Amino acid sequence: MKNDQPYPTISALQAALATGETTTVATVNHYLKRIEAATDLNIYVEVWAEEALQEAERQDTARADGKKMGQLAGVVVSLKDVLCYAEHRVSAASKMLKNFVSPYSATAVERLLKEDAIIIGRTNCDEFAMGSGNENTVYGPTKNAADPDRVPGGSSGGAAVSVQAGTCLIAVGSSTGGSVRQPASFCGLYGLKPTYGRVSRHGLIAYGSSFDVIGLLGREPADLALVLSVIAGADEFDSTAPNRMVPRYDRTSSEGPKKIAYFPDLMHSDGIAPGIKTDLENTLEDLKEKGHELVPVTFDLFDYVVPAYYVLTTAEASSNLSRFDGLRYGYRHPEANSLEETYRKSRSEGFGLEVQRRILLGAFVLSSGYYDAYYERAQKVRRLIRDRLMAILSENDFILMPVSPSLPWKIGAQKDDPVANYLADIYTVLANLAGLPAMAIPTATGEQGLPLGYQLMAANWNEAELLAFAERLKKA
């Protein structure tokens, strides 16, 4: 589906609003028409059209009266269906929470609203953010706008397609192991996963608490930089969000040649699709021609990355999802006649198969006799991975890697093969295991008309340089 953005950047949109070339109401109406035209892609699970138009009218009136507008005035944003928005439904794409109305807003959502962002709806995703293709959802799969027979990536697949199909300017998603970068890459977008703790997790439905971050998807690094400046920072409701200064990411520039580490072994791996491998080789050559230093490094822990990630995240998921028991809130089976039946029937029907699989895996690795053998060892591997990546980044500005070993697969092709879905995360989970910032960067369109790209990782809290370098590459 062709993207149709009359004002493709935040700066262009706000300039048009300031001169009267367009209005906020006209902008919102444009996006609502795009949503209607894209219904076959199954992007949104709920659209807040009336609220969005009311807010647009308020902003147009305020602007006409000469009132000061927020940094995101007129910017239409979509929310992944795992972010709480007061007095609005949020379901994590699960039957367990299908009609749940949040009593409060996530801190990131509050900060968006404070700066006059317009939230247009909530987007489809993998259930409780567990998946790599946006197929594990009670609402049915979202389709890739580049090829509706293929997945858009996951778990923020709906978020990615909401920007790809031109139904909003910015999408807010979440990443536990690559759920922003992978769908961004599959849909030809920029996708930013900030440092763990850079954005408060308050109001984000938890999957793996020591991995989860709120991320952003868009068409311009400068747009992501501005939005990150708004939502980042300390929060009294989240102890993992430290009291560190938030720079103006949108005012940072990148200068001089950079040292970029890469893993030569990946270039010769049989597990990477030929088109992706060729694109990576072209990217490295292009960066070299632009004067940047490419540094080959070794990393001998790839075999342990996916096992460690899934041991740890399923353990945390098992704990986090224990609260959904059919008693306090969430789906409750109508025919349960005892406490045991309430637990068993409510959770068996409320959770999808992939969520049940991960809960069981997590309960297993945390059980007596297996905790030391699996969970404790996985934590040690996580430390080794983090230390190794930090050592590389102490001598280099960035690490360049593929985002995914494969192109977007056909919807349903991996439905009965969970291991194939898990292995799709092999290159993205590194940043989440180590808590590092990383960004998907689009490059080209492959032979099948599918987007191609790569990712860059940076040292902790170095989003400013990451975003500035991405903007520099785009302009070049």
> What CATH number does the domain containing 134 carry?
3.90.1300.10
- The pair of structure tokens assigned to 242 is 């430290």
Does residue 80 sit within a domain? yes
386 vs 299: CA distance, rounded Å: 12
pLDDT of 404-430, one tens digit each?
A: 999 999 999 987 778 877 888 899 999
Does residue 160 sit within a domain? yes
pLDDT of 21-35, one tens digit each?
A: 999 999 999 999 999
Burial readout 155-188 (b: 16 or more C-beta within 10 A, e: otherwise) = bbbbbbbbbbbbbbbbbbbbbbbbbbbbbbbbbb
pLDDT of 96-144, one tens digit each?
A: 998 899 999 999 999 999 999 999 999 999 999 999 999 999 999 999 9
Does residue 351 sit within a domain? no
Beta bridge partners of 79: 122, 172
pLDDT of 146-158, one tens digit each?
A: 999 999 999 999 9
Does residue 412 sit within a domain? no
**Residue 103 belongs to domain spanning:** 10-251
370 vs 314: CA distance, rounded Å: 14
- Contact (Cβ atoms closer than 8 angstroms) between residue 329 and residue 98: no
Does residue 464 sit within a domain? no
Give the pLDDT score at 81: 98
319 vs 336: CA distance, rounded Å: 23
Burial readout 335-362 (b: 16 or more C-beta within 10 A, e: otherwise) = eeeeeeebeebbbeebbbebbeebbebb
Does residue 195 sit within a domain? yes
Does residue 291 sit within a domain? no
Give the pLDDT score at 2: 54
Give the pLDDT score at 435: 98
Q: Which residues are catalytic?
A: 80, 155, 179
Q: How many domains does the chain have?
A: 1
- Contact (Cβ atoms closer than 8 angstroms) between residue 214 and residue 172: yes
First to last CA, the chain: 27
Does residue 118 sit within a domain? yes
